[in-house]
Amino acid sequence: MNLEVLNGLLRPKSIAVVGASDSEGKIGYTVVKNLLESGYEGDIYPINPKGGEIQGLKAYASVLDVPGDIDAAAMVVPAKFIPDVARECGQKGVRGLIVIASGFSEVGRDDLETEVVEIAHEFGMRVLGPNIVGILSNSDKCNASFAPFLPLEGKAALVSQSGALLIAMDASTYIRRVGFDKMISIGNMSDVNFADMVEWLDHDENTDCISLYVEGLRDGRRFMENARNAQKPIIALKSGTSAHGAAAAASHTGSLAGSGKIYDAAFDQAGVVMASNLNNLFDRTLALSLQPPMQGENLLIITNGGGVGVLATDSAERYGIPLHFAPEEVQEELKKHMPDFGSAKNPVDLTGMAGRDWYQDSVQYAFAHEWVDGLVILYCETAMTDPMDIARGIQAAVEASGVTDKPVSVSFVGGERSEEAMRWLVENGIPAYGEPDAAVNVIAALREYARNEDMAAHPFDPFTDVDEAAAREIIKKSRAASERGLTEVESKAIFEAYGMPVARTRLSETEEQAVELAEEIGYPVVMKIVSSDILHKSDAGGVKVDLNSADEVREAFTTIISNAKAYKEDADIQGVAVQHMAPWGTEVILGSVNDPTFGPTVMFGLGGIFVEILRDVTFRIAPVSPDQAFAMLSDINGAPILEGARGETPKDRNALAQLLSRYSQMVCDLADEIQETDANPVIVYEENEGAIIVDARIILKKVEQ
């Protein structure tokens, strides 16, 4: 990406406002007024066919008449005029178009949008929008938008797909005291998208934390790559997480792949921290822009009130950083800064007697201690203490500790004096919240950030003992033979080509052939109908298990065929599969979908009711290394079943991790062919005894006509 061109668009030294107006109430009026009021120091060129003067500035009939260079053009003329003015901008040498106007793909005018981007690219320009509010930047004193004013100054940057939300957040920065340097509206993302913004903001000297409001991504893989490479924390609030596309899914996995789950996985893997709602986006942005990540698990809470201490303890558990007691030596030292009836455990309760000194001494000692990875300081306003005094004590202690690589957050519960003290703390670099839960939640965000960074660091090393050519050959033959898609036998052969253990399955067309195969595979066997017209084999009476002799196999063959015909008279029956009957173990499901935004993904969950009713599954964007796959196994609620809970023996999680990793390679290598897959069930045995795919389906992509 050319960062220079984006600099011209997003930090312009001169701006033309195309559609500038002197009529109050028009957006073309507001944008000029905002540029003037924000103190913009670059050149402003109002463009209006009438020429003359607009708000005291000389106006030009066309950008082509402007004497100086123009970096960016804010477009506030109706959509239908934009292609023509874009071309003029190109001829003028403008570097970027800020297309505020609506009336493009959001109302079905994709053609107009494409035309504008094509014109822009012809001249080497980039396009922000269309359908946006504009751009706001404190460091450039630039409000090139129709949002009323620049946000509260700070070091975060917001990129928002929703314009209205950006305007609302802009105003609320002053209430919430969360400072932003930039707010950028990206609307329809016809050209500049989140991937570009993350890369550009990562290089922006005035941004310390990148905050995103996302409805949907374009170019998911590039976004992930740029986010993973970014040196700055990124936080995203994702809306629209309902299960899109689920109804159309052909596989089990497809129906479980609501966009929410795949987005969660992609953000995790890219090291992006999630926010759960707007409040949370503000809270977490504040902490991520002021504090370093939390590198270990040990959170210490210091409080003057038992109640808020317990509330914060509950929150810590809820957000995945449960409290542990500090080592004896830490407790002994802390006891020196509290009365006898205090508690040096965790939370450390200094009691309602605590004044500035106790806070200051205990915070300074604890923050510097190597056992402590992060600190939450709570304070309930009391009649004997001045909140500002406590705040100053906390800040002095943090500074005196010399620690800069651990996070701290604060919650003061009280009235106006507490609010004022918290404002002071934030101005001095310490995030502070009126709600203890929020103070803990943001530390969890800093922990998630560190963990995600670790996870993103696992490279995928492809398996070399796989036979991609053999897999492709099976697909090619099947496509040539018919439109019916891959059978179970063919699907399993592809899994085998990727070195995955599969219950041996062969296709028989006659009773005698079935017996021969059963003898070759070894008893007991399972037999199943193979017909692309019958997806639910058991419902059709098309499955017989635990067959131990030639006679049983013959009888099963006849019964299965007649049941299938009774179930669907004109079913196209390819035969009956004879399969080795895997011994009983724990059932799990593996699967994949080729997601429109992120490409191939893999899924893991426990089988049976866990997947059917509880939908207890987890996704990753493929490929995943065996280490990442192993971590996936702990993601689901049912993880203790595999880990060996309540007298159960631990299951072979290493074998599952290997299987998942190979699976992920298969769906990536064959991404041009495979749409969805299910391996269901996969049976996993005790530790060191492996896992085996018992049933599998691969659904191919439709061939484009």
Q: Give contact residues for ligand COA (rule: CB under 6 A).
A: 18-19, 21, 23, 26-28, 47-50, 76-78, 81, 85, 100-103, 131-133, 163-164
Please report how close the Cβ of residue 60 comes to ligand COA at its closest, in angstroms.
9
Query: Tokens in use for 168?
Result: 């609302």
- Which of 130/347 has CB closer to ligand COA? 130
- Which of 180/367 has CB closer to ligand COA? 180
Please report how close the Cβ of residue 93 comes to ligand COA at its closest, in angstroms.
17
Cα–Cα distance, 158 to 207 (Å, whole number): 10
Please report how close the Cβ of residue 74 comes to ligand COA at its closest, in angstroms.
10
Give the torsion sign (CA, 52, 58, 64, 65).
positive
- Which of 36/671 has CB closer to ligand COA? 36
How many angstroms separate the Cα of 225 from the Cα of each of 59, 222, 228, 599? 44, 5, 5, 13
Q: Taking the mean position of all CA atoms in its chain, how far away is CA 669? A: 23
Cα–Cα distance, 638 to 647 (Å, whole number): 15
Cα–Cα distance, 237 to 522 (Å, whole number): 55
Please report how close the Cβ of residue 160 comes to ligand COA at its closest, in angstroms.
9
Please report how close the Cβ of residue 29 comes to ligand COA at its closest, in angstroms.
7
Task: Give the amino acid at 241.
Answer: T
Please report how close the Cβ of residue 27 comes to ligand COA at its closest, in angstroms.
4
For ligand COA, which residue has the nearest CB? 163
Q: Taking the mean position of all CA atoms in its chain, how far away is CA 75? A: 32
Please report how close the Cβ of residue 185 comes to ligand COA at its closest, in angstroms.
6
Coil, helix or strand at residue 326 = coil
- Which of 84/317 has CB closer to ligand COA? 84
- Which of 31/636 has CB closer to ligand COA? 31
Count of CB atoms within 10 A of residue 520's CB?
Answer: 10
- Which of 30/137 has CB closer to ligand COA? 30
Please report how close the Cβ of residue 174 comes to ligand COA at its closest, in angstroms.
21
- Which of 48/505 has CB closer to ligand COA? 48
CB neighbour list of residue 424: distance below 8 Å, 6 or more residues apart: 388, 391, 392
- Which of 67/459 has CB closer to ligand COA? 67
Task: Give the amino acid at 479.
Answer: R
Please report how close the Cβ of residue 19 comes to ligand COA at its closest, in angstroms.
3
Longest dimension (CA), the chain: 99
Question: What are phi and psi for residue 244, nearest 5 degrees?
Answer: -70, 145
Q: Nearest Cα to 233, choosing from 445, 428, 6, 425?
A: 445
- Which of 90/607 has CB closer to ligand COA? 90
Please report how close the Cβ of residue 212 comes to ligand COA at its closest, in angstroms.
16
465-497 as b/e: b if 16+ CB within 10 A = ebeeeebbebbeebeeeeeebbbbbbbbbbbbb
- Which of 96/600 has CB closer to ligand COA? 96
- DSSP for 525-589, please give it: EEEEEEETT-S-TTTTT-EEEEE-SHHHHHHHHHHHHHHHHHH-TT--EEEEEEEE-PPP-EEEE
Segment holding 679, helix H or strand E: strand 674-684
619 φ/ψ sector (left φ>0, alpha ψ -120 to 50, else beta):
beta
- Which of 80/476 has CB closer to ligand COA? 80
Please report how close the Cβ of residue 61 comes to ligand COA at its closest, in angstroms.
8
CB neighbour list of residue 613: distance below 8 Å, 6 or more residues apart: none
